[in-house]
Amino acid sequence: MAESLYSQDTIAALATPPGRGGVGIIRVSGPACRSIASSLLGHCPAPRFALYGPFRGDQGMIDEGIALFFEGPNSFTGEDVLELQGHGGPVLMDLLLERCVRLGARLARPGEFSERAFLNDKLDLAQAEAIADLIEASSRGAAENALRSLQGEFSRRVEGLVQRLIELRMYVEAAIDFPEEEIDFLADGHVAAKLAEVRGELGEVRAAAAQGALMREGMSVVIAGRPNAGKSSLLNALTEQETAIVTDIEGTTRDVLREHIHLDGMPLHVIDTAGLRDTPDAVEQIGVARAWSEIEKADRVLLMVDAATTDALDPMAIWPEFVERLADPSRLTLVRNKVDTSQEAPGLDLSTATPVVRLSAKTGEGVDNLKEHLKAVMGFSATTEGRFSARRRHLDALDRAEQALGNGEAQLAGYGAGELLAEDLRDAQQALGEITGEFSADDLLGEIFGSFCIGK
Ligand SMILES: Nc1nc2c(ncn2[C@@H]2O[C@H](COP(=O)(O)OP(=O)(O)OP(=O)(O)O)[C@@H](O)[C@H]2O)c(=O)[nH]1
Ligand SMILES: [K+]
Ligand SMILES: [Mg+2]
């Protein structure tokens, strides 16, 4: 087999979910695949040909099934890979796995097959992450996005940005290294134009990645307010189920209740909480403390009031202590509930500093307005065109790249030092390189010198 860059040990694991099924698959990767196959089946199957036969144990047959052999580097991990498909019973699969271990494999760590695929250059980091996203996708849209990332759509766009940064760096570093050429690269407008272009493209990738991350991770919304505002009723209206207990007794909800729904494919994590009040009841006190810890974490906080109790539209006027305790009041939406008993029309009102949704959790009027509002505050759009799956880690890296490019632009505008601009560009490239896991200083130097023919 082709020498693996990575490991000399052979790993094995159950590849199908644990439990009973028609077929169960054990996957083995590493240099011992051939010998394991020979011991089990009498000989190793020809690469990519299914071999049907008995799987032999130490004493007699374990099972009969199909073996597939993929010769490295033409395999998922880039190493020799053996797949054993047997009957999907947990005892049989255990016996087969144990047999593989006795024949020289060890049990694989979580994600180790993908890790080897990455280390053997079968996948970049973003693609390896996309495999996990694909398997874990909670909606069709999320699965489609993950597949696009796995096929390299995200990586290609990031690499496109990296290429453009490299070209820009070559240009800037030449200006620094050869001032005697008397070409003031930095002042001629070319660099500024290129930089603006890259920033624009980065912004587009960031927007698509943010959509992908949103589709994957979704949005958390906490419903908070005084007892009996109708919080649990809203949870039930959103989930269209009698999830939470609703009564006219204050303090009905004590624990935190979580439900997960989708809005056009965007996962929405709805959190119902205990009504906030000072109470001598020890259990309710714990509920209130838990409510606060959810309020502090959520992407969006719905402050719910019974519309009959106040006309105010400003949360500060309704409940200053609540707003003051909230770290970031821009996360707040005021929900005026029970409009079926007041004179208010249901709907969304964006005319005030804090958005206001008027609805009735009981009749359902206005609940759709709330859903639209939640999608809008996250900038979610239902089109999946040109989207890929992404994670917060990627958004983070894109933000750092954007920050570095912004600094670079400020250097240019202020006629700052070329060296500082060069450093900003390098930082941006490094941040992007973290997405695909490809960053290496040696690659960059090779590229610069290779195309500039310095010293000629
Ligand atoms: N008319 C009307 N009544 C409502 C509406 N929403 C809730 N209620 C009633 O208000 C009362 C309290 O509702 P809950 O959903 O239990 O309120 P809560 O905020 O979860 O209360 P706690 O869990 O005790 O904090 C119940 O009697 C509900 O039927 C509404 O939109 N209109
Ligand atoms: K209640
Ligand atoms: Mg409740």
What number is the ipTM of this complex?
0.99
The string of DSSP codes covering 172-187 is: HHHHHH-GGG---GGG
* Whole-structure pTM value: 0.78
What pLDDT, on a 0 to 100 scale, did the predictor assign at position 1?
A: 41
Q: What is the mean pLDDT of the chain?
A: 89
Average pLDDT over residues 351-374: 97
For residue 320, is the peptide bond before it cis, meaning its omega torsion is within 30 degrees of 0? no
The answer to whether 60 and 99 are in contact (CB under 8 A) is no
Amino acid at 4: S
What pLDDT, on a 0 to 100 scale, did the predictor assign at position 439?
A: 59
Q: How far is CA 26 from the centre of its chain?
A: 28
Q: pLDDT tens digits for 31-44?
A: 999 999 999 999 99
> What does the alpha-carbon distance between residue 105 and residue 34 come to, in Å, rounded to a whole number?
11
What pLDDT, on a 0 to 100 scale, did the predictor assign at position 442?
A: 44
CA of 111 to the centre of ligand 2 (A): 46
| 76, pLDDT greater than 90 | yes
Indicate the annotated binding residues for GTP.
Answer: 228-233, 247-253, 272-275
222, 223, 228: which to mutate for ligand 1, most atoms within 8 A of CB? 228
| 125, pLDDT greater than 50 | yes
Check residues 115 and 50 and name the one with the higher pLDDT.
50
| 221, pLDDT greater than 50 | yes
The answer to whether 73 and 2 are in contact (CB under 8 A) is yes
What pLDDT, on a 0 to 100 scale, did the predictor assign at position 179?
A: 67
CA of 307 to the centre of ligand 1 (A): 12
| Range scoring the smallest mean pLDDT among 209-218, 244-253, 280-289, 378-387 | 378-387
Cα dist. 152→31, 207, 208, 347, 446 in Å?
28, 17, 14, 42, 24
Q: pLDDT tens digits for 395-421?
A: 999 999 999 999 998 888 876 678 888
Indicate the annotated binding residues for Mg(2+).
Answer: 232, 253
What pLDDT, on a 0 to 100 scale, did the predictor assign at position 2?
A: 44
Check residues 134 and 82 and name the one with the higher pLDDT.
82
The answer to whether 218 and 263 are in contact (CB under 8 A) is no
What pLDDT, on a 0 to 100 scale, did the predictor assign at position 385?
A: 67
Which amino acid residue places its CA nearest to atom 27 of ligand 1?
A: 248
Count of Cβ atoms closer than 10 Å to residue 385 Cβ: 6
233, 271, 335: which to mutate for ligand 1, most atoms within 8 A of CB? 233
| 246, pLDDT greater than 90 | yes
| 445, pLDDT greater than 80 | no
> What does the alpha-carbon distance between residue 2 and residue 17 come to, in Å, rounded to a whole number?
30
Which amino acid residue places its CA nearest to atom 23 of ligand 1?
A: 253
Residue 342, both tokens: 């007041």
With a 6 Å cutoff on the Cβ, whether 232 touches ligand 1 is yes
Indicate the annotated binding residues.
Answer: 27, 83, 122, 228-233, 247-253, 272-275, 456
